[in-house]
Amino acid sequence: MLVNVGTGSQFSVHTSDYLVRDGLETRPFPTGGYLLAGSSLCGGRAYALLEQFFRQTAQMLGHPAESCYEAMARLLDSSPALADPAVVTPLFQGTRQNPRLRGSITNLSTDNFTPLSLLYGMMRGMADELHEMVKGQDPNISIATVYRNLNQLAAAGKVLKISNPNGADRFDGNIVHHNHAVCSCCGRMFDIMVPLPDVCAAANAQRDIYVDGVSMLFSGICARCAQTQRNEYR
């Protein structure tokens, strides 16, 4: 099984037989057999929407911020796990089968109507949506399995784990060495395939350590967000 979480999210399973499953696509696999794929339209995009909400709230209060991802990550890292967070269903763009479906936030109370509760609820909702698709094929698969598989695939070198200081870790199916850029507005991540200077050699010349690898994460504003900002200020 391969799990990929980016702007959307997807899990896929290879099978030698042609199978039809509710909510899944059956695709031919180049080397033979078929790929059962389940896709969510709002994977990492849901987290980006929450960041946008926080950023607009800060602007409304007179404290505009270019990005809230760092503050969101600090809040999650410095806070204990919540026993009863908000319950978020991140179907903000519906599903492939029913585009009319919409997301929801429930289980709100006077105790958990907080930014931290919304963060926990959003992260859990993203994983739960993917888990429900996987569970439909194997009821014994737990939500912990979804997280564990991602990290095991990264440890085995099957996918790249990209640590994002301004948000959740990303996983990339392209294991050819390359770097990445992340949009500070929407959180979308882009591949940077151009060759870069040999910073390993430069580091080895200056530090008392042998450096044999480097991964760079660039930040900026993507073309879509830049256009949106231009339209807002007209």
* CATH code: domain of residue 76: 3.30.420.40
The residue out of 124, 145, 175 marking a domain boundary is 175
Q: Give 112's contacts (C-beta < 8 A, 6+ positions apart).
A: 82, 84, 85, 86
Per-residue pLDDT at 53: 93
Distance CA 117, CA 108 (A): 9
Same domain for 77 and 49: yes
Q: Identify whether residues 40 and 104 lie together within a single domain.
A: yes
For residues 61 and 144, state if they share a domain. yes
The enclosing domain of 234 has a CATH number of: 3.30.1490.190
Same domain, 43 and 59: yes
Dist CA 210 CA 129 (whole Å): 43
- Please check whether residues 83 and 150 belong to one and the same domain: yes
- pTM for this prediction: 0.52
Provide the pLDDT for residue 174. 62
User: Which whole-number Å values give the CA distances from 205 to 45, 154, 196, 202, 208, in the listed order?
Assistant: 41, 30, 17, 5, 8
Cβ within 8 Å of residue 96, ≥6 positions away = 25, 39, 41
Q: Note down the domain range covering 208.
A: 176-234
Same domain, 115 and 185: no
116 and 12 housed in the same domain:
yes
- Of the residues 125, 147, 175, the one at which a domain ends: 175
Same domain, 159 and 180: no
How far apart CA 47 and CA 125 sit, in angstroms, is: 10
* The pLDDT value given to residue 162: 72
The Cα 2–Cα 73 span in angstroms is 26
Residues 44 and 99 in one domain: yes
Closest of 109, 110, 76, 105 to residue 90, by C-alpha:
105
225, two tokens: 């967000």
Residue 91, pLDDT score: 85
H helices present in the chain, as ranges: 44-60, 69-78, 115-135, 143-155, 199-206, 223-232
End position of a domain, from candidates 126, 151, 175:
175
Residue position matching structure tokens 């949506």: 129
Say if residue 160 is in the same domain as residue 68.
yes
| 183 contacts 170 by C-beta, under 8 angstroms | no
Task: pLDDT tens for the chain, 234 residues: list them.
Answer: 666 666 666 667 777 888 777 767 788 888 888 877 777 777 778 888 899 999 999 999 998 888 888 888 888 777 777 778 899 988 888 877 788 888 899 999 998 899 999 988 888 888 787 777 766 655 555 656 666 666 676 676 666 677 766 555 666 656 677 788 888 777 677 778 777 667 777 777 776 778 777 778 888 888 878 887 887 766
* Cα 178-180-181 angle, rounded to 5 deg: 155
**pLDDT score at 202:** 78
Task: Provide the domain count of the chain.
Answer: 2
75: nearest Cα among 60, 85, 63:
85
HSE-CB of 93 using CA atoms within 13 angstroms? 14
Q: Do 126 and 217 lie in a common domain?
A: no
Q: Tell whether 140 and 183 lie within a shared domain.
A: no
